[in-house]
Every structure is written in C-alpha cells, then in structure tokens.
Structure 1
Amino acid sequence: MSRVLTIGVDDDLAAAFRANGGAVLALGPAAATDGTALGLLGDADAPALLALGAEVPLPAALALAGQAEVVSSGTSVVLVAFADPDLWKEAMRAGVRDVLSPHADATEIQAVLARATGLAEARRSAPAPVGTPPAPSRRVVVVASPKGGVGKTTVATNLAVGLAAAEPGSTVLVDLDVQFGDVAGALALVPQYTLPDAVLGAASNDPLVLKTYLGRHRSGSYVVAGSDSPVAGDGVSPADVGRLLDMLGREFRYVVVDTAPGLTDHTLTALERATDLVLIGSMDVPGVRGLRKELDVLGQLGLVPARRHLVLNGTDSSGGLEMEDVERTVGGPLDLVLPRHKAVPLSTNTGVPLLEAGGKDPVTRGLRTLVDRIAPPAAPVRGRRARRRAGAR
C-alpha cells in the first residue's frame, strides 16, 4: 500500500485515493505553508505521493513541489487541477510529476499511484555518484556515422555493455537520435522515462533526480532512452543536450552517445564535449565517401577529438572494393574492420548485445577490441606468491 499525503484535496478525491490502494493522510491547505508538510516529507517513512489540491494557492503549491524534490527525493508530487499546456510547463519546471483532474476516475488514480510507487522505489535504489576521478579519465564517447543503416546503434550498445562489464556502475548510454532512436529496442528495454523527461523539470539541474530517470540494463549500464515519438523529440534542444551530457559526465566515467545519422545540431553539441569519436562507415562507395566528407567537415570545425576510432562495418569481398582503396579514400588507416556475420541480425532481433552473449564470432571479437581501445584492461597485479615462483625458477 502506497502512503499518500493530500493537502487541500476535497474529501471525495481523498476517498478515491483510499479506495484505490492508498494509505491517505489528509491535511488542510495551511499545511502547505506552515512547515507541516515539509516535516512529514523529511521523515524516514516519507509518503510516495504528495497530492496538492485546488485549495492550495498555485504559487504555494509550486513552491512546495520544489522543496519536496530536495527534502524527499522519493516522493512524487501531483497537482490536482484542470491542466493546460502553460500549467503543465510551469508545474514540470517546479518538480511536479503529474497533473490530475479533480474529476479523475479510478483508472487515472491507479495510474498515478503506480507511477509514484515505482518512482519512489527507483529513487531509493538510485546509484550513488561515481567517485570523482581525475578529469582525464572521464570519457564522452560519441558514436556517429554519415548515413543510417551502418550499425551505429549496434556498436554504441555493445560499447556501453562492454564498458559497464569492465567497471560496474561506470557507464551511461544516451540515445541522441531524438526522432527515431531505438537504443531501448536494441537492449530489449521498455523504458518508463525517455530523453525529454531527462532534460525537463527538476531532472535538468539535479543529478540525484536525473538518475531516477535512467533505465537500467542487466549488464549494469544505465540508459537515457530515445523519445517516444518524433514530436516529443523535437522538443529537445541542443542546449538541453549540452546540459544533460555535462551532468552525466560529472556522474559517470563513461558516457556513450548514440547519435542520429549525419551532423545534426544535437550531434555537434555532443561532439563539442567528446573525448572519443567512433565514426562508422559501410563498405560501399557512398559509405566510404560519406565517411571522408564527414571527417573533412569535422576537421574544419575543429570537432575531431584526439581519440578517433574509424570503423568499417559489414565488410565482405563481394562488393568489389579493396581495403587499400577504402583507406586511400578515407585518408588514413582504419582502426577496426567488422565483417558481415549472421550473429548481428540475431542480436538485433533478440535484443541481446553481442558482448552480453559472449560469442566467439569475429564481430564480437572486434567489438571487444574497440572496448579495450577506449578502456584498456588493467595489467594483472602479481602477488608475493607469483614473485616467489618467478624467483625460484
């Protein structure tokens, strides 16, 4: 049963919360401003849901919502009101999680309670901030390509899985294809929150709140899933992306960014922060030429980081191109060549990344090599016993 604190909510709605599984403490509107609510929110057993009714003046309700984010990160704030777009925007910025109609039916109330309970549990289990290592060890790895369909998401998801396996809790994967990203699908995740949630409201400036909006993959990596729809994605600005990546870069050692094809404003924003660029092309004439053009443009913009990794994906011998021709066109050696292999579509269709499956096919081995380029494995430490044995020989 979820604990619910209502302030200034009419008796009928409070009774509806009780009827739908809430353990309700109902208080009058004065509790919003006299310190009573904050005292209850500061308890160890704080409510999962705080419902602010129409009897609470809107400025006081929004002020209390902002304070609740600080005092009790495990409490979801719901505003009881007839919503309009302007009110929604103001409420979200204050930290309100839902706007509930005064005439909400049982289904709506149950949904609000379920979201509040889930969020409270997620916030209680949110990861502690990763200890702050020296700045050079922080890595923002941008995975990009001049065109779609070259395996960019496959590489990005496997990088995140591989880095998370090397250092648990260290890695977050951001789906920055704001219109058609499918990182969640590639990882068989059904996200509760998506990119727009992570850049709006309290999550946009509070790392603790932001972490509650991250998905969690079984590999140990965290995920900012792509938008539910192109329309929702269009509401995410490059400035929003910059703030998000800056915040994640302070909280995680590895931030892996899967971008949209080409050079969108969002991708350029990510590249401004990149320590590593993984640039992927395909073994066909348009793919190779696109790779060269993108490198040239990024070079002119000064957006090629010192750690550059050129990847040619889906290679085979039937296209009539030789590797020497590709490297001559690109203007330098390739860092990784991944062959076409049946393991890749199987991985995509099942939502199990190759590095999670742990196969021995050449694509899996190549992806493991790429992980090691970004996070080289630590050298084994030889103990006293090993040294004695070495000295006894």
Structure 2
Amino acid sequence: MIRIAVAGAGPYVEAAYAQAAGVAYMPLPAPESESPSDLLGRLNGASAPEVLVLDSREDPELCLSLAARFSAEHPDTVLLMIADDAETLGLRAMRAGVKDLVPADADDHQVEQALGSAVQLAEKLTARHAAAHDQEPTGRVITVVSPKGGAGKTTIATNLAVACAVAVPHSTVIVDLDLQFGDVATALNLTPEHFLPDVLQSAASGDTIALKTRLTLHETGLYVVPAPESPAAGDSITSGQISQLLQLLSREFDYVVVDTSPGISDHTLGALDQTTDPLLLTTLSVPGVSGLRKVVDTLSVLQMFTGNYHVVVNFADTSHGVTRKDVNETLGVAVETSIPVSKAAPASLNVGVPLMQAGTRDPLVKALAPLASSLLPDGVDLDRRGRLRERRRTSR
C-alpha cells in the first residue's frame, strides 16, 4: 500500500486529504526544523512514506528547506506542497524536489487528483525498485581503502579504472567517495556538469537511463561519478544511498572502482558492503602498516574481508627500514603488488592524464598492469606499458 503522510495541515485541509487518502492516510505534526529525521521520528520507527504532503502556509521557507533535504535524503518519496500562492513558490518548490503544488483552497476533486497522480508516480518508483532488486549484480566493485592520507589512493584508483576502461570498452565507472575533498575529476582533467548528489537522485528512482545521463564520460571511455561540488553538498549523503548506488552500477558495468577518503567512514563501510574486491593500500611506514592492520581486523569482524582482496604497497622504498616481509607479517595477509616510487606520477596528476592512459614506461604502470590484468576477463591482458596485449572478447 502506498502511504500518504500529511504534515502540519489545518482542520479543513486535513479533512479533505484524510478523506481522499482513506486508509493510506498518515497525519504528521507541522515540521519544526528542516531535518527529515525530526519529522520522520514521529512515525514511531516506520520508514519514510511513499507520498509526503507539506502544508507550507505557516512557514513556506522552512517547508522549502525541508523539501530540499527530504528530496536529497529520501528521493524515492513523492513530495507535494500545499501553498497559498502557488505561482510565487512554483519554481523554488520544483528545484527543491516538489512534484506538485496544491492550492490551499483546492476542492475535494482537486485534492483527489493531486493525490492520485502522486500515488501513480510512487507506484512506478516502487515497481522500479522491485525490478532492480530482482536483478543480481554481476560487476566487480573494487574499493580502494587506506587508513592514512597521502598513500596515493586517487592515483591508484584512477589508473586502475583507466586500465579497465581501455581494455574492455564501456565497462568501467569510477565513483569518488571522498565527499569533502575528492579530486578524481581533477586527476582526469574533467569539468563535470553533474556530481555525486545528482547521480544519487537518479539511482534512488531506479532509472538507469537517467542515471547514465548524469555520469561524466572521460576520453578513455571511463565513466565518472565526481565527488560533491563542495564539502557541504555531501553532508546529507547516507551510507545507504552509497550502497544503493553501487548495487545499481554493478548491474550496469563490469567494473566499479571506488576511491574513498582516508580511514573507514560510514560511507566507506556502505561501499565495502557492496565490494567484491577490497584494495587495501599502504606505504612502507610503521603508521601506515599499523593502520592497515586495524582496517583488516575491522573488515574481518564485519565479514567484509572477501577472498578477492588485494593488498598494495605504494611508494615501496625499503630504505626507511620497513620491508614487504614486515608488511606480510604485520597484516597476516600477503602483499600482492608493490609499486616503486614513480617520478612521473605527480606530474600526471597535475596535468590530469593518468600514466595508464599515456602508455608510458613507468614503474607504476609496470607494477599495476598485472593487478589490472587479474581483474580482466580471460584472454584480456595488459603489457608492462599498460597497453592491451590481447583481447578475445569485449564487455557484455
């Protein structure tokens, strides 16, 4: 059943909506803040309603702010707004995610029509979600995790993603999950029109066509989901939204590469919950290796440490007293890839051309090529310059 919640309605308006909604009607008090959780807390633990009607007559600005937050955090809820002056609020309400404005003096028939249209839209969204859940993900999700900053996560993630995209055309998407300071777009020399919050809205609707139109296409054929445009824009993003996005992307792409912020945030855990291949990155330093051991222990406790893990040591300079053997013994798992210091890597970041794209002879490319090849289909292999050695088949 599609549930219809009406927040803050006066007696006359409430009666009209209660009659039109019937048993699906859920009364809510007037909102007191722009936080959706404050309003939903009145539902005694129930999930967000499929249709939410906000009576904006008492405080239009608060309702607009609440609608914008609600649309971002619960994009699968259809929002309506009751207004005294629909023309004045019209454009601002639509930008906040409101699907329809209903005049405060609407008669019973108009109310029934507005709720009927909202219910039809909510049913379509529900059906899309059900269909999406019936389809099992087939793509590999490779999440790059490091306990410390400065380990080269973005360099590794972008080069690995480019390698997969070049080897298997139209197969790969990279998601920048460093919500505050992500720079995947910069590392790829991109100027995006859409960012992670925009993509999440499309993902919530289950509309894969709309989702793909909001991805940024790199010249190598790699699809990109850039980090939020500003740190504040990522504040309302939840780990559940990230998990849902990765589920959908892994149904559409063979490879989903995820760049994360340092440490293990809730958003990173949301990504790891959908990850098939955790890529655990460290440097040859005591703090880095010690921190990665804590990551391994945490993932093991949470049962997120899959058998397809990859331990990668970047800046593998043993002159500072820490060796690959030390890393193996400390982690209790074997290092798969050691990447020597690359003099060309900083310049490649500055110009936005990953070394795997340039096809140059470089220690980073030589070390990453076998790792990328291990992810690719049988018969698809990269040489030490990151170039395709042989391709017997392409992506699905």
- TM-score range for the pair, normalised by the shorter chain length: 0.5 to 0.7
2:270 aligned partner, one-letter code: T
Superposed displacement of residue 317, structure 1:
3.0
* Aligned position for 1:224: 225
Q: Matched residues in 1 for 2:313 and 2:182: separation?
A: 21
Q: Matched residues in 2 for 1:174 and 1:80: separation?
A: 39
* Aligned position for 2:246: 245
* Aligned position for 2:96: 89
Which secondary structure state, in structure 2, belongs to the residue aligned with residue 200 of structure 1? Answer: helix
1:378 aligned partner, one-letter code: G
Give the alignment of 1:226-375 within 5 angstroms: 226-375=227-376
Q: Is the 8 A contact 1:204 1:243 kept in 2?
A: no
Q: Is the 8 A contact 1:204 1:244 kept in 2?
A: no
Q: Is the 8 A contact 2:202 2:208 kept in 1?
A: no
Superposed displacement of residue 326, structure 1:
2.0
Q: Matched residues in 2 for 1:381 and 1:168: separation?
A: 11
Cα 1:362/1:180, change in 2 over 3 Å: same
CA deviation digits over 1:13-36, x for unaligned, max 9?
A: xxxxxxxxxxxxxxxxxxxxxxxx
Q: Between the two proteins, what is the percent identity of the paired residues?
A: 46
Q: Matched residues in 2 for 1:273 and 1:260: separation?
A: 17
Superposed displacement of residue 180, structure 1:
1.2
* Aligned position for 1:189: 190
* Aligned position for 1:163: 164
Q: Is the 8 A contact 1:141 1:256 kept in 2?
A: yes
CA deviation digits over 1:256-287, x for unaligned, max 9?
A: 11111111111111111111111100111100
Q: Is the 8 A contact 2:146 2:280 kept in 1?
A: yes
* Aligned position for 1:214: 215
Q: Is the 8 A contact 2:137 2:247 kept in 1?
A: no
5+ long unaligned stretches in structure 2: 1-85, 101-134, 381-389
Q: Matched residues in 1 for 2:287 and 2:150: separation?
A: 12
Cα 1:224/1:381, change in 2 over 3 Å: closer
Q: Is the 8 A contact 1:176 1:226 kept in 2?
A: yes
Superposed displacement of residue 136, structure 1:
8.0
Superposed displacement of residue 235, structure 1:
1.8
Q: Matched residues in 1 for 2:370 and 2:336: separation?
A: 10
Cα 1:185/1:295, change in 2 over 3 Å: same
* Aligned position for 2:151: 150
Q: Is the 8 A contact 1:145 1:262 kept in 2?
A: yes
Q: Matched residues in 2 for 1:168 and 1:311: separation?
A: 25
Which secondary structure state, in structure 2, belongs to the residue aligned with residue 142 of structure 1? Answer: strand
Which secondary structure state, in structure 2, belongs to the residue aligned with residue 156 of structure 1? Answer: helix
Superposed displacement of residue 292, structure 1:
0.9
Which secondary structure state, in structure 1, belongs to the residue aligned with residue 150 of structure 2? Answer: coil
Superposed displacement of residue 90, structure 1:
2.9
1:363 aligned partner, one-letter code: L
TM-score for both structures, normalised by structure 1: 0.63
* Aligned position for 1:118: none
Which secondary structure state, in structure 2, belongs to the residue aligned with residue 174 of structure 1? Answer: strand
Cα 1:362/1:201, change in 2 over 3 Å: closer
Q: Does 1:138 align with 2:134?
A: no
TM-score for both structures, normalised by structure 2: 0.63
Q: Is the 8 A contact 1:204 1:210 kept in 2?
A: no
Q: Matched residues in 1 for 2:391 and 2:192: separation?
A: 40
CA deviation digits over 1:320-340, x for unaligned, max 9?
A: 122222221121320000011
Q: Is the 8 A contact 1:140 1:257 kept in 2?
A: yes
Which secondary structure state, in structure 1, belongs to the residue aligned with residue 310 of structure 2? Answer: strand
2:362 aligned partner, one-letter code: D
Q: Matched residues in 1 for 2:391 and 2:271: separation?
A: 36
CA deviation digits over 1:270-325, x for unaligned, max 9?
A: 11111111110011110010111110111011011120000000121321122222
Q: Matched residues in 2 for 1:246 and 1:222: separation?
A: 16
Cα 1:184/1:245, change in 2 over 3 Å: same
Q: Is the 8 A contact 1:198 1:204 kept in 2?
A: no
Q: Matched residues in 2 for 1:202 and 1:172: separation?
A: 14
Q: Matched residues in 1 for 2:222 and 2:93: separation?
A: 36
Cα 1:166/1:135, change in 2 over 3 Å: farther
Q: Is the 8 A contact 1:184 1:225 kept in 2?
A: yes
Superposed displacement of residue 352, structure 1:
0.5
* Aligned position for 1:63: none
Q: Matched residues in 2 for 1:137 and 1:196: separation?
A: 24
Q: Matched residues in 1 for 2:334 and 2:361: separation?
A: 25
Q: Matched residues in 2 for 1:136 and 1:315: separation?
A: 35
Q: Is the 8 A contact 1:191 1:225 kept in 2?
A: yes
CA deviation digits over 1:158-185, x for unaligned, max 9?
A: 1110111111001111111111111001
2:97 aligned partner, one-letter code: E
